[in-house]
Structures are given as structure tokens and as C-alpha cells.
Amino acid sequence: MAKYTEDVRQLLELIGGKENIQAVSHCMTRMRFVLVDEKKADARAIEKIRSVKGTFTQAGQYQVIIGNDVAVFYNEFTAYAGIEGVSKDAVKAAARTNQNPLQKIMSALGEIFAPLIPALICGGLVLGFRNIIGEINFFAGGTKSLADISQFWAGTYSFLWLIGEAVFHLLPVGIVWSITKKMGTTQILGIILGLTLVSSQLLNGFSVADTAASDIPVWDFGFAKVEMIGYQGQVIAAMMAGFVLVYLEKFFKKHCPEVISMIVVPFCSLVPAVIIAHTVVGPIGWKIGDAIANIVYNGLMSPFGVAFAGVFGLLYAPVVMTGLHHMTNAIDSQLTNLYDGTILWPMIALSNIAQGSAVLAMSVLQKRNERAQQVNIPACISCYLGVTEPALFGVNLKYGFPLVCGMIGSAIAAMISVGAGVQAFSIGVGGLPGILSIKPAFYLYFLTAMAVAIVVPFVLTMAVGSRKLSKEALCGEESEELPQTESIGAESGEKASVELKAGLTGRVIPISEVPDEVFSQCVMGNGIAIEPESDTVVSPADAEVGVVMADTGHACGLVLDNGAELLIHVGIDTVDMGGDGFELLVKEGEAVKQGQPLIRFDPEKIRAAGHPTVTVFIVTDEGNYETAEYLSGMDGKAGETTVIRFA
């Protein structure tokens, strides 16, 4: 007898019927749909289906979170709907057809900059600390800095520029590498091309403006001269050069015989790419980058700058939902290198805070709605730390008015920030920690803007929500009950403490730091994650294998002796790899011992495919135990370090 007959019927109806489904597949926890018209899907009603834990849209896919039992649900759904499921690659390809050209460009831009964000944030904090110790005169009546009166701090000030220069002046190396990585071409060629853009043989790009034209060195080819100018800190020029290399390599790979490709392809791709970079796309990209940065900077610093800031602050959150916000990373980087700081990024941090404050108000309003709080609280925390998508899609957009209240608060805060000329050293940690990247001279102004971004959305959301929200939304459905799960391998009343050991060797981090909103929001349940240093996942405890992803091998579920259920997922979105790089070592229904190998994987293949290797261990059901303690922030050793403790 079918287990999810009624839920399947409801989902098919609420998603717009069979005719609205272009393609469907599933991963370890989610149904993945490509819909003909996403507007026909009633997300609010779908999330009320008993077996559904949430919905969201990502990269053109409408994803419905089911949990460990998704394979059973999927089989029943496809059988009931009379449709055939397709491969993950087919779903991904179909999803791309739902994106317009601008969305595709922005998606690509986001994927290029995503691997660079940690370095940019680190660099911004380093520059902030460096300026505090070397640029602010705290001593001798306001005439000397800490570096001026202490040799230790003077040395530290000098040393830190080693990191700052590597991040911001040599940024083109990272950009070209990231492009080759994203496009699937040879990454070392990208690194070499990037190095040719910032080589010490060239006149430093930051010195060009102060160098007379006659003093600029050139390559003299007799019939032509090419200026030997570096592209330190240039974003657009590096991106254009990177794509030239990518398409040259793809062209020669396609047309070159395999027997000589190892010699011909690298040479015929890299050498012309370097020539084109320094003669054509480099100078053009430099002009374009400077033009964009100048337009934004002059617009914000003009007499109409405050109005411009208000519009930006108002619209930034909706822009995030379209994915177009990735362009600001390139603009911020260009502003940082052109004007020694960015006036744009502080407004982005303030928008994050404003949307988080709207969620905070919703959390207060819905304090009696347990199901809503499971989304509100983690979404608010992640938003205040700079990750807004969970708050935007999970709360604010769902109800509408919190989004608008956050936008209003963001607009007012942005106007204060720009009106006071607030600048950041560079891109930083978004949300409340954003002040760490603000130039100290603007701390007071930014704190004022932060206060506005917190108070205005909170007060507006409370005022509107108290009138607009129904009793059901405020308190939850009285008839709503959590689905019951049968404890396996444990009798009722057993309360002996149980410890789960690390399933991998590596750094153990909180689940909130995982770069996936379903995991980080604890939609499936709480847990921990490990940045792996080993390549084999072992069982954290004696258990029975409850479910496996046999076709991809990247995930499995365990049922522990205390009745708890544990989901193990290697990497993020690794279902897209189709099993390449994974070896499943157990089968469904098999009894395993603590420390027994479960999954073997190739970390390099995961990275090459563009996915994080972080592995999550999620307790989807705590069984017959009342509490679970999740331990993180240490280096774990597979099979030895305790990471989860039941009591």
C-alpha cells in the first residue's frame, strides 16, 4: 500500500498539475522540479503538506524538501502523476532554459566570484586592522599611530601588506583561475594568464596615472609597440582575458587530434590569450571597469547621491532574489582599487541587517508558532551574519509585508550612510559584523545607520504584522501534529547516553556555516559538518543503513540503536556529479559498526566540479532521546572525536 498517497495527490495539484512539470528528479532530501510556469505553484499551500519540510527555488529548479524518505515519495509521485523522472543532468539542463540571458550572465558571474569571496573578506579585515594600527593617530596628542610608537606594531603593519597586496593587487590571478575552473578548462593555464597580467616585469597598474607617457616601458616589435602595463586590481579586464583563454582552449581541444593535443592545445591557447589580453581586451576592460566604477562613485557622491542611495537601499533585497546582486562584487572590487575604498558595500551590509530585523519582528510575532520559529530563528541569525536568502525566501517574501518593511528601513539607512560619506576598506562580512570593514573615521555614522536598519524594519513589521497576520499564522494550526516515527532498535524508556563519533577526519564546524540553506537553516534537522581531510566516511556509531543514494553514492542515511536517524551528505549539490568520484561501500538494510567505512570519495573531483567538499551529519530524528548536544569548533579524528551526544 502506498505510503504518501494523499500527500502526492496534494503536491501534484498544488504544483500546477502534470502539464506544469517540465522535468522532475530527486536527490537525497529533495524533489527537484523544472516547472513550465513557476507562478502556478502554491508554495504556501505546498509547505502545509504533512511530509513537506519546505520549498525554495534555486538555479531554475523548484525544490520541495521531503527528507530521508524522498526516494519513496518520488516513486509514488511519478507513478501517480504518470510521468517519468529524468536524470539530475537533464533537470539541470532543463532548468537553464528557464533563465533569461541576463539571469544566465548573473548566474555565471556569481559562480566566478563565489570562490573569491573568502579571500576578499579576509583582505578587507586585514586592511581594516592595518589601518587601525598604522593610520589612526591615537597617541602623542593625536600626532602618532600605534605603529609610530612601537616597533612590533610597525613590523606588523608592514607585514600585513603582504596579504593585502596579494588579495587586492593580484586579484586578476584569482579571477582568471575561477573562470577556468567554472568553465571546466585547464586551471593552471588560467593561473599563468593571471600572473602575466600582474607580472613584476610590467609597470604597476596603480602607477600608470603618475607616470609620463614617454616613461611607460614598451615591447617594441618594429612594426608596432605595446605598452608594458600591469592590470593590478583590474576586474573587468581580467574577466575578459579569462574568457578569451577559455574559448581558445575549447576551440583547439575540439579541432586538435588527440595524439598531439597535450602539446598544441596549451601553447595555442595560452600564447594568443596573453597577446590578446595585453593588446585588445586588457585596455578595453580597463576602460569599462573604470567607467562603471566612476559612474557609481560619482552618482553616489553627486548632489543626488542620497536619493540614488535611497533607491539602491530600497531595491537591493529584490535584486538579491533575482541573482543580479552578484554584479556588485565586481563593482566593489573596482571601487576599492580605484578609490582606496568602497561606498557601495556599506549599503549592502545595511540591507542585510534591515531584512534580518524584519525577520526578528516576525519571530516575536510568531513566538507561539513552533513550525514558523524553526525557519524564523535560523533565518534571522544568518541574515544578521550577511546571508539573506533564507530570510528573503523563507520568511519575508512568503508574507510580503516584512520584505517591504525591510526595504524601507534599508533605504533610510543607505541614505544616512551615503549622506555621511561612509566608506569600507573593501567587501567584508555582511550584516552586523560589517562594521569591522568600515573605515574607523566613519564608525559613528555607520552605527547610526545600523540602528536605523534595526529599529525601523522591526517597528514597521511589528505594527503591520499585528494587524495583518491571521491567528493561524501567529499561533500555528492547532490540529497540526508532527509526524510520528517508530523507534528502531530501542525500547521506550531507554535513556542511556549515546555518543556519535566524527565520520571524517577534519575541521568540525557548526551546521549554520554550511553553504546550503536547507542544511544551514536546520530544515532537515540539526547537526554538525566536517571540512574533510580524509577521503572515507565512516559510521559514527553502530547502526543500520536506512537509505542510500545507490546511483550517485554521495549520501546515505543511518538508523541508530537509540532510534535516531542520521543523514550523511558528502559535499554540496554533489548529486549533480552523477556518482563520478564516489564509491558507496554499504547497501540498504546492512548493519554497520562504529568506524566501518560507508562512502569513499575523491575530494579533488568534487572541487574540480565546483562543489564544496564540506560533509554534513544531520540528525533528522532524535529517536527516543529528549536532547542532543552538537559539538563543533575543533579538529576531529574519524571514529574517535565525539561530535554529537544524545541524552
Identify the pLDDT of residue 585. 94
> In the block, which residue shows the cell 495527490?
9
445-460 confidence digits (pLDDT tens): 999 999 999 999 999 9
Helices (H) and strands (E) in the chain, counts: 24, 20
Alpha helices in 323-442 (DSSP H): 327-339, 345-365, 370-384, 389-391, 397-399, 401-419
Per-residue pLDDT band at 219 (split at 50, 70, 90): very high
Task: Read off the pLDDT of residues 382-396 as tens digits, 9 standing for 90 and up.
Answer: 778 776 766 776 678
629 versus 600: which is more confidently predicted? 600
pLDDT (0 to 100) of residue 94 = 55
Residue 479 confidence (pLDDT): 35
What lies within 8 Å, CB to CB, of 374 at 6+ separation is: 522, 523
Q: Is residue 38 classed exposed, middle or buried when 0-12, 13-18 and 19+ CB atoms within 10 A define those classes?
A: middle
User: What pLDDT does residue 105 have?
Assistant: 66
The mean predicted confidence, pLDDT, of the chain is: 83
Q: Is the pLDDT of residue 490 over 50?
A: no
User: By C-alpha distance, which of 128, 30, 106 is closest to 71?
Assistant: 30
Question: Confidence class of residue 368 from pLDDT cuts 50, 70 and 90?
Answer: confident
Q: Which of 361, 476, 401 is CA-nearest to residue 47?
A: 476
CA–CA separation, 488 and 590 (whole Å) = 14
Q: Do residues 599 and 556 touch, judged by C-beta distance below 8 A?
A: yes
H-type alpha helices, 27-84: 43-46, 70-81
Catalytic option among 27, 380, 405, 556: 27
* More confident call, 85 vs 322: 85
Confidence check: pLDDT of 92 > 60:
no
CA distance 621 to 562: 10
Is 357 or 328 the better-scoring residue by pLDDT?
357
Q: Any idea what the Cα angle at residue 146 is, between residues 143 and 150, rounded to 5°?
A: 115
Residue 494 pLDDT > 70, yes or no?
Answer: no
Cell of 455: 529599529
- State mean pLDDT over 10-39: 87
8-state DSSP, 7? H
Q: Round to whole Å and give the CA distance between 76 and 86.
A: 15
Whether residue 268 lies in the annotated active site: no
Q: Which residue has the cell 524518505?
A: 69
Cα separation, 21 vs 37, whole angstroms: 9
Q: Cell numbers of 282, please?
A: 586588457
Residue 324 has pLDDT above 80, yes or no: no
Res. 205 pLDDT band, cuts 50 70 90? confident
- pLDDT at position 492 is 40
pTM for the whole structure: 0.53
**pLDDT at position 26 over 90:** no
Cα separation, 354 vs 389, in Å, equals 13
